[in-house]
Amino acid sequence: MSEAENQATSILLPSSKLAVYSKDPQTLEAARGLEDDWRFARVRVAGEDGDVESAIRVYEEIKSPDLIVIQTDTIDDSFTERLGELAGHCEEGTSAIIIGPDNDVNLYRKLIDMGVSDYMVRPVSTEDLAEVVAKALIEKIGVTGSRLIALTGAKGGVGTTIIAEALACGIADILGQKTMLLDTSGGWSTLGVGLGFEPSTTLDEAVRAAEANDEDSIKRMLHRVDERLQVLATGGDVMLEDTVSAEQFEVLIDMLMVKCPIVIVDVSHSPAALQRCVIARANQIMVVSTPTLPALRLARSLVQEVREVRGGDHGELSLIVNMQGQAASSEVSKNDIEKAMELDVAAYLPFDPKVFLSNESESKKLTDDKAAREVINKNLLPLVRKYLAVNENTDEDEPDGGFLDGILGKLKKKA
């Protein structure tokens, strides 16, 4: 594959499902290896010890995935006939890649003519498989964007950072999506306390690395909380000095969004320009307030400003009311909040120092605490669940043609 093609597939692949049917342990191992490739974060890979016959039996019963890889030892008319049979049981638009024993140009042409996306000669490595599968998925589904979620606080200390952390842990641990968390507050960042890392870098270093497209340096700046959650370990910045510009920060966001399906940015305690730039381009904006008058008054203005920045395109704007019950007698009712803000309360979070402050102080991942996990699942995840289901929109993105269409077309031509 040419360098240009390699670069074209060096992106986060769209949400999709892939099944690999092979009796060759090396191919199945190569398929398993795809899970370690960052581009496959949204691709569900199933490796099956089987062949075209097994695939036919499976798709007689269940819906076929977006892409099927079939390995075969016999490449003759009997195989292409069985491939035709398989196509008859597949969903419209399912694509196929064949792995065979020989490098045979005529066969390659015949399979491509039948609508097969590609033909590979065994043995295949994870790298080879990744390139060919990536190309086929991009051709079939196209490139779908990652999701940027911005959290902003109406006022200092209302809990924006801990909620960003809770949301990131929930999306990674409960919804199983690869997630990146970062903040724009430079030296004022407290993410390292909650997630247990030393701030080893600065926003300035991170944007410089992004501007130089230096992926290795960015990788070193990421703290891996677990398999699915990474945090940009900034916070070493000088507190009383200006940090990076909005333009520079956008370069960093661009780079991270190509790498990760969910990017969460906590903009609490940050320069206005950085807050504004993240809010302007986020797919979803969460405004955090407490249910008390001073915070709500600012929340009202902030929501109006967010609407102005977005100029009619509000993205998904959610109001989160935190620390409910801390000062019950001074709290404003849900009804009054919604009337004043012209916005529904999307989520309430209880005032619960055990759930939030204790875990934060002990650097305990919130989803590792039973009570916190419940609060996250019940109160916060409903705000994002509908956007994050794997394969949610693939039907809409289905282009014309594919494996089935190719083979049916061929059969029709024959008839």
Ligand X SMILES: Nc1ncnc2c1ncn2[C@@H]1O[C@H](COP(=O)(O)OP(=O)(O)OP(=O)(O)O)[C@@H](O)[C@H]1O
> Closest Cα partner for 20 from 111, 82, 109, 97?
97
The C-alpha angle with vertex 255 and arms to 182 and 273, in degrees rounded to 5, equals: 55
Footprint (CB under 6 A) of ligand X, residues 159-178: 159-162
Q: Does 268 bind Mg ion (CB under 5 A)?
A: yes
The tokens for 193 are 């306390």
**Options 153-161, 167-175, 198-206, 298-306: segment touching ligand X (CB under 6 A):** 153-161
The tokens for 113 are 């003519």
**Residue count at the site for Mg ion (CB under 5 A)?**
4
Q: Of 94 and 160, which CB lies nearer to Mg ion in the complex structure?
A: 160
**Residues 126, 27: Cα–Cα separation, whole Å:** 8
Residue whose structure tokens are 């190509």:
258
**Binding partner of residue 75 among Mg ion, ligand X, none, CB under 5 to 8 Å per kind?**
none
Q: Of 12 and 376, which CB lies nearer to ligand X in the complex structure?
A: 376
**Residues 206, 217: Cα–Cα separation, whole Å:** 8
Q: Does 323 bind ligand X (CB under 6 A)?
A: yes
Distances from the Cα of 48 to the Cαs of 22, 43, 123, in angstroms? 6, 16, 17
**Residues 122, 101: Cα–Cα separation, whole Å:** 6
Q: If you write DSSP's letter for every residue of 140-179 in order, what string do you get?
A: HH-----EEEEEEESSTTSSHHHHHHHHHHHHHHTS---E
**Options 86-94, 109-117, 196-204, 346-354: segment touching ligand X (CB under 6 A):** 346-354
Q: Does 322 bind ligand X (CB under 6 A)?
A: yes
**Binding partner of residue 177 among ligand X, Mg ion, none, CB under 5 to 8 Å per kind?**
none
Q: Of 132 and 158, which CB lies nearer to Mg ion in the complex structure?
A: 158
**Options 113-121, 154-162, 217-225, 327-335: segment touching ligand X (CB under 6 A):** 154-162
**Options 15-23, 155-163, 250-258, 296-304: segment touching ligand X (CB under 6 A):** 155-163
The tokens for 21 are 């049917």
Distances from the Cα of 105 to the Cαs of 102, 109, 291, 356, 407, in angstroms? 9, 6, 70, 63, 19
Contact flags string 104-143 toward Mg ion, x per CB under 5 A: ----------------------------------------
**Binding partner of residue 18 among Mg ion, ligand X, none, CB under 5 to 8 Å per kind?**
none
**Residue count at the site for ligand X (CB under 6 A)?**
20
SS3 content of the chain, % helix, strand, coil (to 5): 50, 20, 30
Contact flags string 67-106 toward ligand X, x per CB under 6 A: ----------------------------------------
**Options 13-21, 70-78, 151-159, 392-400: segment touching ligand X (CB under 6 A):** 151-159
> Closest Cα partner for 407 from 54, 52, 18?
52
Residue whose structure tokens are 């995840």:
381
Q: Of 120 and 320, which CB lies nearer to ligand X in the complex structure?
A: 320
**Binding partner of residue 43 among Mg ion, ligand X, none, CB under 5 to 8 Å per kind?**
none
**Binding partner of residue 356 among ligand X, Mg ion, none, CB under 5 to 8 Å per kind?**
ligand X
Contact (CB, 8 A) for 165 and 36: no
**Residues 64, 93: Cα–Cα separation, whole Å:** 10
Footprint (CB under 6 A) of ligand X, residues 239-278: 268-269
Contact flags string 347-386 toward ligand X, x per CB under 6 A: --x-xxx--xx--x--------------------------
In terms of DSSP bridges, do strands 179-183 and 118-121 run parallel, antiparallel, or are they unpaired?
A: unpaired
Q: Does 229 bind ligand X (CB under 6 A)?
A: no
Contact (CB, 8 A) for 381 and 171: yes
**Options 26-34, 103-111, 152-160, 397-405: segment touching Mg ion (CB under 5 A):** 152-160
DSSP state of 291: S
Q: Does 235 bind ligand X (CB under 6 A)?
A: no
| Residue ranges in contact with Mg ion by CB under 5 A | 160-161, 268-269
Residues that bind ligand X (CB under 6 A): 153, 156-162, 190, 268-269, 322-323, 349, 351-353, 356-357, 360
